[in-house]
Structure 1
Amino acid sequence: MKQIVLSIIAYAVQRDIDTAKLCRLAGINLTALKKTNAPPVTQQQLDALWLHGARLSGDPLFALHFAASVQPAALGVVGQIIQTSATVGEAITHAAALTHYVTDQCRLEIARNNKNFTVRFIPAGGNVNEPTMAFRVLVELLMVITIHEVSGLMLEKIVPLTVRLPYNVPDAAAYEQIFRCRPTKRAGEYALVFDIRYWEEPILTANYELQDLLLKKVAAMAPQQPAKTAGTLQARVYNYLLANSYLGVISLEEMAANFNLSPRSLQRKLKEEGVKYQDIADAVRKSLALYYISSGSYPLKDISYMLGYNELSAFTRAFRRWTGSSPLQYQSL
């Protein structure tokens, strides 16, 4: 719980929220929370954090957008075990067995047949068809983490066959963007259904040392951002893209949703600063490409996938445009 709360606060910083005010409204002492002997965060404090995060950001889907950006470290030891699993099926099986380390509000149940596998989120108690807002936020968070984390570990964008919720969602298009398919209402069920082909897929980043290196890249690369842009919208966009780049460089539409803007408004605001979203995305991709190649830890094909290129040839063309040389030529320097 503590690690998730710290991750929510870190996400609030990325959203340009006054975190001192957020913590005060939620009744959280951030200084005390950072200490090893900090008292546990209560459910009431966590609920208040979600509520005031949404209000201060002006984003009613604040929790859902946080879920789409959360990194494995937010799950503590559970995240580490998932990272070091060999296959998707093994990672999900471990996650199901260890859910109680993340929350006591629900458990995971897995069912398989020869066509698909289903991950069900079973409430610990209460009426699943009329859940509290806090419980809805929690389960939606866990569902989105399941989709996005497995995608990040596989370096492939997983799309569920079905997402089932026991209520109608308030913004179907926004939910579809984050869940990657439009949720359907089914009484009494929170569930994700995936094609069975994913079950035995190997996790390419199962080597924890490589994953740890990947997640530490932000601190190493932050100084590359031009000082003159500090505090601007483009700086916030750049930092957000970099901090969440282990899941790939997100689209303009996804970025706009995270800033609670329309794509057109985001483009207009960036244009006022003399830059386009694609320019910032390319700057991040270039920085990441140089970092990955220089580390010597990743094959070029994997780097291509991590940066969102389906074909190595497309990555090679982009790299040549950025540097004047091919990735292979740069690698040999």
Structure 2
Amino acid sequence: MKQLVLSMIAYAVQRDADMVQLCKLSGIDVAALKKQHAAPVSAQQLQDLWLNASRLTNDPLFGLHFGESLQPAALGIVGQIIQSSATVGEAITHAAALTHLVTDLVRMEISRSSKAFAVKLIPAQDHGATPPFAFRQLIDLLMVMVIHELDGLLLEKITPEAVRLAYTVPDPAEYERVFRCKPIKRNGEYALVFDIKYWEEPLLTANYELQELLLRKVSSMPQPVPDSQNLQTRIYNYLIANSYLGVSSLDDIAANFNVSPRSLQRKLKEEGVKYQDIADAVRRSLAVYYISSGNYPLKDISWMLGYNELSAFTRAFKRWTGSTPVNYQSL
């Protein structure tokens, strides 16, 4: 819970919220929270944090977008269970048992049929058709994290067969973009349904090691100082931290920064840069980092950067560096 709260504050700051104001309004002492034996965050503090983070970032879908930004954190959760799991099904089952480490407001249950498996979030208390704002944000966050955990386990973007929520979503198009599936209102139910074919898929240790490599790169980056950052730097840092399955599109970045694609392009133009320039800089940085680490097939690195064909990655790498990946490896 402590790490979740710290991550939430960091994401709000990335979205231009004032950390001092956010913590003061929410009754949270960040310095105390970072200590090893910090007192737990109360339910009221957490509720206030959701409300204030949403208000200060001017984003009523803060939980949804926060979940979308938590890909490396979600992979970290996978990392805790991957050693004892041989398949996706085992990993998801073990993850369900660890839900209490994140929140005690819901528990996770897994059900299977011959055609699909479902990940269900069961509230500790019945909120009816109009659950509190903070609870809806938490549900959005957890459901997006489940999808990203599956992405990380399989190293591909997984599309749910169905997304069921007990409340009417305020922005159906944005929920569909993030969930990759149109959400359906189903009274009393919070569930993600996936094709059963993924259940027995083996976990790929080499892929996980590549993801861990990315996390180490992200953690070694200097911590940003939001007030001193221009937009292109903030976008670069965001892409670096969320590029383990390819670099996000302009539309996805615009939605996560709570602006229209056109507005984002205009603001970047004022800084003298295009979004494609930033995206290519991220791909180049990650490509060089992965190749320099050694011991990883170029095919896997190509997949990690979102290229379906090794030849496409090779052409791009030569454009960035003047050398092919194979030649760069031998330097």
TM-score in terms of structure 2 length: 0.92
Equivalent residue for 1:99? 99
Equivalent residue for 1:270? 268
Equivalent residue for 2:165? 165
Instruction: Describe the SS at the equivalent of 1:302.
Output: helix
**Maintained 8 Å contact 1:81/1:91:** no
Instruction: Describe the SS at the equivalent of 1:246.
Output: coil
Equivalent residue for 2:139? 139
Deviation of 1:40 (Å): 0.4
**Maintained 8 Å contact 2:88/2:198:** yes
In structure 1, give the amino acid aligned to 2:310.
L
**206 and 81 in structure 1: CA distance in 2 versus 1, 3 angstrom threshold:** farther
**Maintained 8 Å contact 2:82/2:91:** yes
Correspondences of 1:201-280 after superposition (within 5 Å): 201-205=201-205, 211-220=211-220, 231-280=229-278
Instruction: Describe the SS at the equivalent of 1:159.
Output: coil
Deviation of 1:183 (Å): 0.3
Deviation of 1:325 (Å): 1.6
Task: Tell me, in whole angstroms, the C-alpha distance in 2 between the residues paired with 1:53 and 1:205.
Answer: 36
Deviation of 1:221 (Å): 5.4
Equivalent residue for 1:9? 9
Equivalent residue for 1:130? 130
Q: Which moved more, 1:280-289 or 1:61-70?
A: 61-70
**36 and 222 in structure 1: CA distance in 2 versus 1, 3 angstrom threshold:** closer
Deviation of 1:17 (Å): 2.0
Equivalent residue for 1:29? 29
Task: Tell me, in whole angstroms, the C-alpha distance in 2 between the residues paired with 1:123 and 1:144.
Answer: 17
Instruction: Describe the SS at the equivalent of 1:193.
Output: strand
Task: Tell me, in whole angstroms, the C-alpha distance in 2 between the residues paired with 1:127 and 1:47.
Answer: 15
**282 and 205 in structure 1: CA distance in 2 versus 1, 3 angstrom threshold:** farther
In structure 2, give the amino acid aligned to 1:237.
I
Alpha-carbon deviations, 1:273-307, whole Å to 9, x = none? Answer: 11110110010000000000101142211111111
> What stretches of structure 1 of length at least 5 have no aligned partner?
none
Equivalent residue for 1:80? 79
In structure 2, give the amino acid aligned to 1:105.
L
Instruction: Describe the SS at the equivalent of 1:216.
Output: helix
Deviation of 1:33 (Å): 0.5
Task: Tell me, in whole angstroms, the C-alpha distance in 1 between the residues paired with 2:31 and 2:213.
Answer: 27
Q: Which moved more, 1:63-72 or 1:319-328?
A: 63-72
Instruction: Describe the SS at the equivalent of 1:108.
Output: strand
In structure 2, give the amino acid aligned to 1:215.
L
In structure 2, give the amino acid aligned to 1:136.
R
Q: Which moved more, 1:12-21 or 1:111-120?
A: 12-21
Task: Tell me, in whole angstroms, the C-alpha distance in 2 between the residues paired with 1:23 and 1:112.
Answer: 42
Aligned length: 327
In structure 2, give the amino acid aligned to 1:35.
K
Alpha-carbon deviations, 1:15-34, whole Å to 9, x = none? Answer: 23211111111110011001
Instruction: Describe the SS at the equivalent of 1:121.
Output: strand
Task: Tell me, in whole angstroms, the C-alpha distance in 1 between the residues paired with 2:206 and 2:49.
Answer: 32
> What stretches of structure 2 of length at least 5 have no aligned partner?
none
**217 and 139 in structure 1: CA distance in 2 versus 1, 3 angstrom threshold:** same
**252 and 75 in structure 1: CA distance in 2 versus 1, 3 angstrom threshold:** closer
